[in-house]
Structures are given as C-alpha cells and as structure tokens.
Structure 1
Amino acid sequence: MDLGFDGAATVVVGGSRGMGLATARCLAQEGARVAVVGRSRADVESAAEELARLGSPDAVGLAADVMDTAQVEDVFARLRLRWNGELNALINTVGPNVQGTVEELTDDQWREALDHGVLSIVHCVNAALPLLRGADWARIVNFSAHSTQRQTVSLVAYTAAKAMVTSVSKNLSLLLAKDEILVNVVSPGTFVTPALTAWARSVGIDTEDPYRLMEAIDTHYGHPAQLPRAGLPEEIGPVAAFLASRRNSYMTGANVNVDGGSDFI
C-alpha cells in the first residue's frame, strides 16, 4: 500500500533506537524525508545514514534534549529552513524511565517522569505547529503505553506520564480538527527494546528472545499478553507510519493498542 509519503517531511522524536527507529525506517522506505531527533549526536547521525540507505531523500539527525525548550525550538527552526516551512508528520516516541512505587519515588523523580514524558512532547508540538499548519496535510502521532490501562505499582510515575500523553493528544485532536491536522496515539504493550532488555538484565535475564522476555514480564508483573511473546519494534513501526500518513485521512483522537492481546478493563 502506498501511504502517500513520497517527498513528505517527517520528524521522529526518539527515532534513533527501538520503536522510534522502526517507525523512521518505515517512513524512509515510503520515500519520506525523515529527521530523527534524540539526545545523542552519534546515534541520530547513525540513524540518518541508515535511513538514507533505505530510501529517504533527505534524512537528517538532529541532536537535542527535548526537555529544553530552546533546543527544541532550534531544531524546528533549522527544519523550517531546510524544508521550506513545511512539516507533514510529527511522531513523538520518547518516554520516561522512572520506576518505583508511590511511597518510594522522590519529588525529583516525579518531575523527571512528567517532564520527560509529557512536557517534552508539548515542547515538540508547540514548535512544530507552525510548520504543520503550513503543509498541505499534517499528522501528529504520540506514543503512550498499554500500562495506562493495566496498572503496575512500580511504574506509577511512568504510567501517570503516559496517561497525560493520551489526554493531551485527545485534547489536541479537538483543538486541531479545524485545521484538519489529525492527532492519534499508539499504545505499545511489551516490546523488545533496549529499555526492556536492560530491565531484563537487571533481574538476571540476559536475553533478547521475545518468548523469554514475555515469560519474565508474566513472572515479575503478572501481565502477559495473549500472544506468548513480546512484540518486535518492526511490528509497531507500520502502525505508527499509517497513522502519520496521508492515507490516514479520517482517524483522529484514537488510541490504538498494539499489545499482543490484553484484557483491558
């Protein structure tokens, strides 16, 4: 299926690894111009080189701390000049990595989770909106998490931040409907990402095998999927790419679960 990305201008925040990189690969293969934004200059530049090989006609890696408003504004100012003031798709995949129960977390950890999980996305949306409004068509896709619907006591700050992402996205879909800018959410379940494999190592499981990782999630959290394995990043990239595409012309304000099957309440 042609998603209508040929020559489109796209940004993937957090696109140098994991699910963000998987999404950026889909955009590149569809012929989009892709800017990857992340903290590590080496990582974003390496990702941009790969995306160029995959077919992106103008792949670029831009290093920035998305919790810093000035750095975010600088990224989008540079893209305004590079892409003549247009942006068709903004995809935000970043999230906090804060663990602990309500009783364990410090105020600084709460601030880190909310700043990294929510304000980073708000910064990017605010900086991108003038470019999105200047495009023939525009989409925003924000990554939330299935844990907003299925609680884990040690992920309370992470879950709270992701729930705010879902709420802010729904509000944006209402705000931007008059501009025909579509805003949707992807909520991943358990995926084989650097964060998940780092957690597995921390509990004594050194593997990237999706079946063993799902077993570990079941053992430690009691939250298995209906499928017996964790997801792979390349299985969520196409979902996010469709939501960000011109082909998606009427879905907005939706929260799409990609979780291997879960019984949400």
Structure 2
Amino acid sequence: MDLGFDGAAVVVNGGSKGMGRAAAEAMAAEGARVALLARGAEALADTAEALRALGSPDVVEIPTDLTDRGRVDAAFAALGERWGELNVLVNAAGPVDVGVGRRFDELDDTEWLSTFDIGTLSAARCARAALPLLRKARWARIVNVSAHSVRRQTQGLVAYTAAKAALTSFSKNLSLTLASDGILVNTVSPGSFLSQGLKNYILRLPSERQVDFDDLHAVMGIIAEDFGHPAQLGRVALPSEIGPVIAFVASRANTYMTGADINVDGGSDF
C-alpha cells in the first residue's frame, strides 16, 4: 500500500528513541522528510543517521526541551522557514520514569506537575506551534501517542495514566476543532512495549526478579505481576511493532478516521 508519504513533511517529538523513533523510521522509509524534536543530542544524531539510511530525503535534528514553550515555538519557526508547511505531527514524548511503580500517596506535587508537563502539555505546545504550518498543507494529520493504561487502571501508574487520559481527551476535542480544516487527529494507545521506561523499572527491581530483556514473555510476567496488565499474546512488544501503526494513522492513506483511539495492546478485553 502506498501511504502517500513521498516528500511529506513530518515532525516527531520524542522521536529519538522508542516508539517515536519507530514511527519516524516507518515514515522515513516511505520517503517522508522528518524533523526530530528531543532533548538528547547524541540520540538525535544516531536516529537521524538511521533515517537517512532508510531513504528520507531530508532529516532535521532539533534539540528541544518540550517543556519550554519558547524552545518549541522556535523549533517550529525554523521548520516553517525550511519547509513552509507540515503534513504530519506525531506527539510521542512521554514521562519515562516519574512515579512509575509508586502509589498515589507516594507522589508529591512536583512529580504530578512534571508528568503532566511532558505527558500532556508537550503535545498541546507542539500542536499549537505546528497548526499554522499544518493548515498550509494540502493534507495534514496529528497523531498523539497515549497509553492502554487509560482503559486499565493500576495503582502504580496513577500520574502517568492521568496525564495520558488528559492527552486522549485533548486529542478527541482537537479532532472536533480541526475537522473543518480537514486535519485528522487521532490517538494511538500502546499496551506493554519494551520501552526505556520499562527497562529502567525492571533494572530497579531486586536481583532475583531481574529478567532478560530479550525474553519478551518473561518481561510480560513482570508487567502482569506488578501492574495487572497481561496481554493475550503473552509477551511485551517491541517499539518497531507500533511504528507502522502510527505511520498509517498519520498517512495520506487514512482519509476518514479522526477522533479515534487505536489500541495496540497484544489482546485484552478493553
């Protein structure tokens, strides 16, 4: 299937690692121009090199603190000068370690604010800054990466899940707001993926509970025990398994789906 990315201008925030990188790679392989917004210069450079090798005709690395509105606005202003318009914005950044595995009464205000700042407000900042450029394009899409835990609550993800629930609600409202512009807005909600945040959580566990990250079924065992989120497929997923899903939702081939929340969780009752 031709997804219609040839020459398209794409921005992926949080695109230097994990699921954001996987989405960027999927679109680069389809011929998209890709801008990466993230904080780590080394990871940005490594991902940019990979995207060029996949065939992207233009890759831009912009080190950006997504909690800083001035930095975000400056990044999109630079892209406006370079490309003049945008076809796709993917908001893939999210809180990695804040509050994971800890209950409500163990979190303070600083941790709540930090989680919402990167988990929700970063997407709103990028959408606001990108909107004038998206409106200039012949076709445009916004994809926000939320979380399956919005449907499946657990005590150890309270702030993270609340921030992602806010992101899902924001996405639904934005789809309504931008429908008259022909800009489609959707959410993709991953279940248990082998993200850096999950790896960090497991590395903090007692040595007797450590598992080999290559054993995806064993990693799922930790998820099931600690968070109550087993998947019917019995394993966690790799970021590369969600990249093509995000790419389709963000693509020109998606012509009628907006306001949707696509669950990618390995099978569940939700």
TM-score normalised by L of structure 1: 0.97
- Tell me the percent identity: 57
Partners of 2:178 and 2:201 in 1: CA distance: 38
SS in 2 for 1:4: coil
Root-mean-square deviation (Å): 0.9
Asked whether the equivalents of residues 72 and 123 of structure 1 are also in contact (C-alpha less than 8 Å), the reply is yes
Corresponding position of 1:29: 29
1:93 aligns with 2:95: no
Corresponding position of 1:140: 142
Corresponding position of 1:242: 248
Residue 65 of structure 1: how far off its partner (Å) = 0.3
Corresponding position of 2:190: 188
Corresponding position of 2:170: 168
Extract unaligned runs of 5+ from structure 1: none
Q: Structure 2 matches for 1:42-191, cutoff 5 A?
A: 42-83=42-83, 85-96=84-95, 97-99=97-99, 100-191=102-193
Asked whether the equivalents of residues 98 and 155 of structure 1 are also in contact (C-alpha less than 8 Å), the reply is no
1:103-132 CA distances to partner (integer Å, 9 max, x unpaired)? 111011111111111111111000000000
Corresponding position of 1:207: 212
Q: Out of 212, 232, 235, which is 2:238 matched to?
A: 232
Residue 195 of structure 1: how far off its partner (Å) = 1.4
Residue 253 of structure 1: how far off its partner (Å) = 0.1
Residue identity in the other structure for 2:11? V
Partners of 1:221 and 1:124 in 2: CA distance: 31
Give the length in aligned residue pairs: 263
Asked whether the equivalents of residues 45 and 62 of structure 1 are also in contact (C-alpha less than 8 Å), the reply is no
SS in 2 for 1:67: coil
Asked whether the equivalents of residues 52 and 59 of structure 2 are also in contact (C-alpha less than 8 Å), the reply is yes
1:220 aligns with 2:226: yes
Residue 206 of structure 1: how far off its partner (Å) = 4.4
SS in 1 for 2:45: helix
1:12 aligns with 2:17: no
Asked whether the equivalents of residues 211 and 218 of structure 2 are also in contact (C-alpha less than 8 Å), the reply is no
Residue 222 of structure 1: how far off its partner (Å) = 2.3
Residue identity in the other structure for 1:160? A
Partners of 1:87 and 1:253 in 2: CA distance: 20
1:214-235 CA distances to partner (integer Å, 9 max, x unpaired)? 0111122222101110011111
SS in 2 for 1:10: strand
TM-score normalised by L of structure 2: 0.96
Deviates more, 1:45-54 or 1:62-71: 45-54
4+ runs deviating over 4 angstroms: none
Corresponding position of 1:255: 261
1:155-201 CA distances to partner (integer Å, 9 max, x unpaired)? 10000000000000000000000000000000000001111111111
Partners of 1:104 and 1:132 in 2: CA distance: 41
SS in 2 for 1:163: helix
Residue identity in the other structure for 1:185? T
Deviates more, 1:164-173 or 1:208-217: 208-217
Asked whether the equivalents of residues 142 and 186 of structure 1 are also in contact (C-alpha less than 8 Å), the reply is yes
Asked whether the equivalents of residues 211 and 219 of structure 2 are also in contact (C-alpha less than 8 Å), the reply is no
Residue 207 of structure 1: how far off its partner (Å) = 2.3
Extract unaligned runs of 5+ from structure 2: none
Partners of 2:227 and 2:120 in 1: CA distance: 25
Residue identity in the other structure for 1:90? L
Partners of 1:10 and 1:256 in 2: CA distance: 20
Asked whether the equivalents of residues 147 and 189 of structure 1 are also in contact (C-alpha less than 8 Å), the reply is yes
SS in 2 for 1:187: strand
SS in 2 for 1:260: coil
SS in 1 for 2:27: helix
